[in-house]
Structures are given as structure tokens and as C-alpha cells.
Amino acid sequence: MKHAWQIWLTLLPLATMMTMAIAPTSAQQQLEGQVLGAGAPIAKAMVTLWAASADVPAQLARTESGTDGRFMLSFAGAPSNDSTLYLVPTGGEPTANKASGNNPAISLIAAVGPTPPAKVTINEMTTIASVWTHAQFFDGTAIRGHALGLKAAAGNVPNFVDLSTGGWGSVIQDPLNSGQTPTMANFATLSNVMAGCVTRVKADACDSLFAAATGRDGKAPPDTLAAALSIAHNAGFKPERVFALLDAFFPVPQGKHMRATPFMPYLSFAPGAWVLPLKFSGGGNAGGAKVMFDSEGNAWSGDNFLVGWQGHDDLWNGNLSKFAPDGRPLSPMTSGFTGGGLLGPGFGTTIDANDRVWVTNTSGKTISLFDKTGKPLSPPEGYNFGGKISTMQGIIVTPNGDVWALDFGDDKVIYMPKGDPTKVKFYCQSTDGKPNKDSPCKLNGPFHLAIDQQDRIWITNAIGDTVTRFPASDPSKVEVFPTGGGSGKGMAIDSKGNAWITNSLGSGLTLETKARLAYLKLTGASLTAFDHVALQDLLDHPGLGSVSMLQPDGSPAPGSPFNPGSIWGAWAVSIDGNDHVWISNFAPGGGLTELCGARTETCPAGMKTGDPISPPGGYKGGGMQMLVDASVDPAGNVWVSNNWQDPESCYGKPDEGVSTRCGGHGIVVFYGMAKPVRAPQIGPARGYE
């Protein structure tokens, strides 16, 4: 007896059956490429095409490069829409040094994204670009991870390198990044050192590289890809070792002035860390402040200033910027997003579960709301609740959808249940209606806030040395804890419920300055006047500032507050997926500090909570200025916002030639530095594992 499927087949026309028999499961794609070492072909390299996803990478095709380093691969396409592709050539004979023979230490990579270009060049530069952008997604030397992070990582590779030629990418050589930062030289120096091993410029070149690339764990890498990854994961650990190989591999010939390196420019002295930050601007960005990420990984930042505006006492007039995960501005180039009562955002930007962007305004004395396209949802005058709010700062969305915001000027808290402005409530108001007088919550310049795992609201006080805490369900149950530091600004809660607070002025704020700030606050002076006094105290005392860690019961952690020597004017603090602590510094030249957090098992061996992972001066580069935020995206990149550029251009009548250089210029992205964080971040940071 025939089965139903057998009967069905007998009824099909012969031509249809033949078509079914020969049709492939999916259309075959061709990928042409070339493997190079030090600019010359690598013959007989085994080239493998992989598809990365959350699972074990899938091998799609494999072939061997020819005598000219060229290869052709045929494959059926990415296994899913969430996959990204990458190519790994191993071994081979570099023709740049024909006497070297087969080099089993060669392992290069080019991450090409969901859809590869028609032609791919794989070399040392594609390797450095792919490793640093994907540093948080390597499992050994294989790539795997969540879809949003992989997409963002692959999308940033072309910022560093042209995948079709293996030459410089578009962003790293643009005017913001080429001659203005050391990133190109860092990048090319790493590529040169790798090329020295690939082509065996010395018999022991690879052994020298692997020794110099050995990380804090003491494990020497076995090949060039593993060496690059070890350097990226230990960026600030003895960076001079790798730099020394530049001279060992490519000494300056006698009578010459330059090294004969495959890639230029190269460094003249060792960096503080092997970091590769890139700077982005546009989209109305000027004096960028708090940076938050939406569910697609786009970065949103309120802007303190307008593009091209002269600093002249009365500041804070900017709008709202949006950047794609690869740094491209998505908001209008000069103005940014406008409307909805937006005027001079401060340190108050947050994103809810529907990707709506909430922004507080310092000059406008309002709260604004935008949809994910940048369309204002708040009325033209913003949410001002009948003029009942003053100079605004921090704002958050809680896991249950409530919105909490801080009135810096009037020392009170604004609460919108489920984000409904028609049901607004005010808490912590003083009995006589004046700021800093009989405040039931002991607020004094409330600046930023956070919610912990026990649904308790924590608030920093910028004019003082305490934090305020109360249950979200009952703001009358107020507790006040000393931080051990002065002028609390940023705050973040780690996975264990500890509160980390940045003290911009540490414990070194003078009594005179404290008195002047209190007087200005009491008399309702402008925010400009307040900042001018505080800023001068900060600039007069290099190294001023710290970060405090309060345990869930409000007591200080052992050793708190911390200042490992890289903190000056600590402003924002973020926690990554490993509970590492990232701190921005509002001081000339910026500086990004990384500390070991509460989960010491994720830190380098032997470190305790509060120990610095970043080098003594912090991570540098990327054209950083005076920073106010450091925020971790879903790919593990750390975004820092340049808030102020030249303080002397901010007050009075500055020199005409620099009069527009008050507001900071650009956002700087440090690639692959932190354990990724889910977006949008609502409540304490959450990783992907």
C-alpha cells in the first residue's frame, strides 16, 4: 500500500520533480579574498568562513589561499538573520619573507558582518580591528554572543579598516581622529608588531610577541590572533613590552630617520594602555551629558549647549542627540532633536521599555519626552506641572515603569507613576517652600538617583557629603548616609545592591567654597554661578575627587572612598556586566578610570574591591576633554561624553577666537573594554549571562 506522499509524488509533472531534485536549499554565494602579511601575499593559508551567533560558531566554508594569497569561497549564506560572519586564515607561507617558510603561528581574522563585501582582504589591520571591536565576544579564538552585541561589534569594524582593501577605514582617518588623537598610531604600531611575527622578521619574532602579549594570568598566547586578544584584554598591563618590539623588529636604519614598517604612523613612545578610542560628533552634539542606549543599541545624549554657541555666563541651551551603534549621528546635524519643551538638558536622560526618551531640562525647568524617532511627545512647553518645578537634573525609569526625577533647584523629587505626567506627585518638599530649608529628605542640590534591587531610591546631593534613601513605596521613610566625600554627582547600583557614588570634589572641598555654594543655592543664583565656584575649586586642586561604595545597609565598604590616583573631578559612574566600575572625570584632559568592583572573581587575580584596573593616569586618548559620563553599551564599548572644552571660554567675555569652545566637542568610544550591559538599562545594570 502506497503512503500519501508516494501518491502525491506520482501526480507531480516530471519537470517539477526534476526541479525539486536539483534545486539547492539556498542560493550559493561567492566570496573572493586575499590574505596578506606585511602587505605581501600569504600562500597556502587555510581560510575558514564562520558564522557567529549565541551558539557555537558554524563553519560555512573552507579553502586554501593560492601563491598570490587569493582565495574563493562558496557558501550558502548566513544560517540566520542574527548571524554575523568572520574569516580566519591560519598558517601559510608569507611571501614578504620567502625564507620563513610555513608559519604555524599565523592566525588572522576579518569580521565582515551579516553580509560580506564582494571582496575581502585579511591582514594585520583587519585582525586588530576585529579583535578590539569583538573583544567581549571571543570564546577562545572563536566569536559568539548575543545578536545585538555582535551586530554592533561587526558594524564598527569598518570604522577602523576598509575590509575590501585592508587599508584604513573611514572614521579612524577622519579629521576628528587622525591627527588629533594617538589612535591611528596605536593601531598601526600593533599591526606592525603583529606583522613582525607573521613574516618572522627575526627567528624568534613570534616567541617575542607571545612573551610581550602575556597577560596578567601568565599564559603566553600560541598564535597571533590569541596574542592580539590577550593585549586587548590586558590593555593597561605592562604596555611597554609590546611597544619595545617595534624597535626590536623594525630598528631605524643607520643614517635614516624612519623605520621601514609595513604600516604608518607608528608610536614614538609607549602608550599608557593599548586602547583604540574613536571620537564622533554631529547630530547637534555640543556639551554632551548623560548617555543612554535604546533597545537597538543607539546612543542618546542630552546636550548642555547648542552647536556654535558662544559661552557667556548664561549656558545650558542645547537639545538632544542620537548616534547609531557605529557612531553615525542620527539626529539633525546641527540642531539635534528639538521641541517638547526641550531647553538645556542637564545630567538627566533615561529610556523606558518602549524606547521613549525622557529628558530633564536645566534652563527650561521642564521634563521632555521623545519617541524613538526623535519626535517630541511632550507638549511644546514640556511637562512643567504649572511651573512647579525648577532647575532639573537626574531622571530614571524603574522596572515597574514609574518615572522619578530630581529638582536640583528646589530640593524635591518628582514622581510620575507608570510615566503618567497627569498623575505627578512631589516628594521631599520643604515646609516653607524654600530650597535647602527644613527638607524632610535632607536634600541639598539633588543631582542623580538610582533604584536598587529592594526598590529603594538613592539620591546624591551635589552640595554636601551625604546620600538620601527611601523606599519607592513610601518616600516618608527617609534615611541619610554619609559618603565620605563631597559634592556627590553620579550613582550606580551593582549586582549585589551596593551603591557607588562619585564625589566630584572628594573630601577636599574648602569651607570657604562650601559656604559660597550654600549661599548661592539659598539665594537662587543661576546654575552658571554655582558651577563657576565649584569648578574653580576643582581646577585649583589637581587630583581632587573620589568614588564611594556604600553597602546595602548604608555602611561604607572597606577602603571607601577610593581614589587610585586616576580620579580628578569624578562625575559619572557605571557598572558593567562583570561589576567593574567605570568612572568619568570632569577635569582637563578627561581620563577614564576602571576599578575592580564587588565581584572580585571577575577582576585580575589578586585584586580587591576598589583597586584600579586602568593605568595610573586612567585610560587616555580619543580627544577626551572634561567628561561627565561613562556608559557601557550592549557590545561592551564605553561611551564618554565631552561636556566642557575650555572653561575660560564659558564665563564673561572670552577671547573671540575661542569663544565657542565652552561646550565639549564629541563623544568618545572605547571599544571592547567592558562586559556588555543590556539596553535599555532600567534599574541596576544587567549583563547577558
Residues 6+ apart with CB under 8 A from 540: none
**Nearest CA to 448 among 484, 483, 495, 413?**
413
List residues bridging with 481 in a β-sheet: 467
- CATH number of the domain at 638, please: 2.120.10.30
- The C-alpha cell at 347 is 545630567
Q: Band the pLDDT of 285: cuts 50, 70, 90.
A: very high
Say whether the peptide bond before residue 680 is cis (omega within 30 degrees of 0): yes
Q: What are phi and psi of 249, to 5 degrees?
A: -90, -35
| pLDDT for residue 541 | 80
Query: What is the domain range of residue 375?
Result: 278-670
Question: Whole-number mean pLDDT of the chain?
Answer: 92
Beta-carbon count within 10 A of 253 CB? 10
Q: What is the identity of the amino acid at 665?
A: H
Q: Band the pLDDT of 12: cuts 50, 70, 90.
A: very low
Task: Please indicate, yes or no, whether residues 271 and 287 belong to a single structural domain of this protein.
Answer: no
| pLDDT for residue 27 | 72
Contact present, 414 and 424 (Cβ < 8 Å): yes
Q: What is the DSSP track for 303-337?
A: ESS-TTPPP-S------EEEE-TTS-B-S-TTT-B
Q: Band the pLDDT of 660: cuts 50, 70, 90.
A: very high
Task: Please indicate, yes or no, whether residues 424 and 518 belong to a single structural domain of this protein.
Answer: yes
| pLDDT for residue 633 | 98
| pLDDT for residue 7 | 33
Compute the average pLDDT of residues 577-599: 95
Q: Band the pLDDT of 514: cuts 50, 70, 90.
A: low
CA end-to-end span of the chain: 54
Task: Please indicate, yes or no, whether residues 300 and 376 belong to a single structural domain of this protein.
Answer: yes
Q: How far apart are CA 101 and CA 513, in angstroms?
A: 70
Four-residue CA torsion sign, 666, 282, 347, 518: positive
Contact present, 502 and 538 (Cβ < 8 Å): no
Unique residue bearing C-alpha cell 542560493: 27
553-583 pLDDT per residue, tens: 999 999 999 999 899 999 999 999 999 999 9
Is a pLDDT exceeding 70 seen at residue 25? no
| pLDDT for residue 642 | 96
216-258 pLDDT per residue, tens: 999 999 999 999 999 999 999 999 999 999 999 999 999 999 9
Contact present, 160 and 173 (Cβ < 8 Å): no
Residues 6+ apart with CB under 8 A from 492: 450, 499, 500, 573, 574, 575, 581, 684, 685
Task: Please indicate, yes or no, whether residues 324 and 263 belong to a single structural domain of this protein.
Answer: no
Is a pLDDT exceeding 60 seen at residue 513? yes
Tell me which of 275, 297, 321 is where a domain ends: 275
Within 13 Å and on the Cβ side, how many CA atoms surround 376?
19
Tell me which of 253, 275, 297 is where a domain ends: 275
Tell me which of 213, 246, 275 is where a domain ends: 275
Q: How far apart are CA 13 and CA 635, in angstroms?
A: 52
- The C-alpha cell at 213 is 602579549
Q: Which helix (H) or strand (E) holds 447?
A: strand 446-451
| pLDDT for residue 2 | 38
Compute the average pLDDT of residues 483-488: 92
402-418 pLDDT per residue, tens: 999 999 999 999 999 99
Task: Please indicate, yes or no, whether residues 515 and 488 belong to a single structural domain of this protein.
Answer: yes
On whether residue 4 sits in a domain, the answer given is: no
| pLDDT for residue 99 | 87
Task: Please indicate, yes or no, whether residues 121 and 237 belong to a single structural domain of this protein.
Answer: yes
Q: How far apart are CA 271 and CA 268, in angstroms?
A: 9
On whether residue 32 sits in a domain, the answer given is: yes
On whether residue 7 sits in a domain, the answer given is: no
| pLDDT for residue 416 | 98
Task: Please indicate, yes or no, whether residues 213 and 309 belong to a single structural domain of this protein.
Answer: no
Q: How many domains are there within the chain?
A: 2
DSSP E strands, 210-267: none
**Nearest CA to 301 among 340, 351, 339?**
351
309-337 pLDDT per residue, tens: 887 766 789 999 999 999 999 999 999 99
Task: Please indicate, yes or no, whether residues 240 and 293 belong to a single structural domain of this protein.
Answer: no
366-401 pLDDT per residue, tens: 999 999 999 999 999 999 999 999 999 999 999 999
- The C-alpha cell at 391 is 532647575
Task: Please indicate, yes or no, whether residues 433 and 557 belong to a single structural domain of this protein.
Answer: yes
- The C-alpha cell at 29 is 554565494
On whether residue 12 sits in a domain, the answer given is: no
Chain centroid offset of residue 299 CA: 10
Chain centroid offset of residue 480 CA: 32
Compute the average pLDDT of residues 91-117: 95
On whether residue 11 sits in a domain, the answer given is: no
Within 13 Å and on the Cβ side, how many CA atoms surround 441?
29
With H, G, I as helix, E, B as strand and everything else as coil, classify residue 236: coil
Cα separation values, 334 from 105, 446, 624, Å: 49, 31, 21
On whether residue 555 sits in a domain, the answer given is: yes
On whether residue 248 sits in a domain, the answer given is: yes
With H, G, I as helix, E, B as strand and everything else as coil, classify residue 490: strand
Looking at the chain, the whole-number percentage of residues with pLDDT higher than 70 is 92
- The C-alpha cell at 628 is 561627565
DSSP E strands, 514-604: 546-550, 570-575, 581-585, 592-595
Task: Please indicate, yes or no, whether residues 60 and 185 belong to a single structural domain of this protein.
Answer: yes
Task: Please indicate, yes or no, whether residues 293 and 423 belong to a single structural domain of this protein.
Answer: yes
Task: Please indicate, yes or no, whether residues 297 and 439 belong to a single structural domain of this protein.
Answer: yes
| pLDDT for residue 132 | 98
Q: Band the pLDDT of 509: cuts 50, 70, 90.
A: low
On whether residue 6 sits in a domain, the answer given is: no
